[in-house]
Amino acid sequence: MSARSSVVGIVAPQGARQRREHRESVPAGPRKASVEYRNLAPSELIEHAIRRGEGKLASSGALVVETGVHTGRSPDDKFIARHGELADEIWWGSVNQPVAPDAFSQLHADIVNHLAGHDRYLMDLSAGADAAYGLPVRLVTESAWSALFAHNLFLPGREDDDRAGEGWTVLHAPRFQAVPELHQTGSATGIAIDFEWRRVLIAGTEYAGEIKKAIFTVMQGILPERGVATMHCSANEGRDGRTALFFGLSGTGKTTLSTDPERRLIGDDEHGWTERGIFNFEGGSYAKTIGLSARDEPEIYRAAQQFGAVLENVMVDPDSRRPRFDDDSLTENTRAAYPLGFLDPAAGGTGAHPSNILFLSADAFGVLPPVAKLTRDQALYWFLSGYTSKLAGTERGVTTPTATFSACFGAPFLPLQPMRYATLFSDRLDRHGSQVWLVNTGWTGGPFGVGERMPIGLTRAAVAAILAGSLDHAAVDIDTVFGFAIPRSVPGVPDRLLRPRETWSDPGDYDLTAQKLVRDLEANFEQFAETAPASVRAAGPTR
Q: Which residues are catalytic?
A: 73, 213, 232, 250, 254-255, 269, 335
Collapse the DSSP code of 125 into the 3-class scheme (helix H, G, I; strand E, B; otherwise coil) and give the result.
strand
Please give the Cα distance from 21 to 171 (Å, whole number): 18
Quick check: helix, strand or coil at residue 300?
helix
DSSP 57-112: E-TTS-EEE--TT--S--GGGEEEE--STTGGGB-BTTTBEEE-HHHHHHHHHHHH
463: amino acid identity, one letter = V
Give how far Cα 269 sits from Cα of 111, 293, 297, 350, 426, Å: 29, 21, 17, 14, 20
Q: DSSP string covering 479-502, please?
A: -TTT--EEES-BTTB-GGGGSGGG
List of E strands, 107-160: 120-127, 135-141, 155-156
Q: How many Å apart are CA 237 and CA 230, to the nearest integer?
A: 18
Q: Are 267 and 232 in contact (CB under 8 A)?
A: no
Coil/strand/helix, residue 278:
strand
Report whether 278 contacts 244 (CB < 8 A).
no
SS3 at position 120: strand
Residue of 316, 306, 327 lying closest to 64 (CA atoms):
316
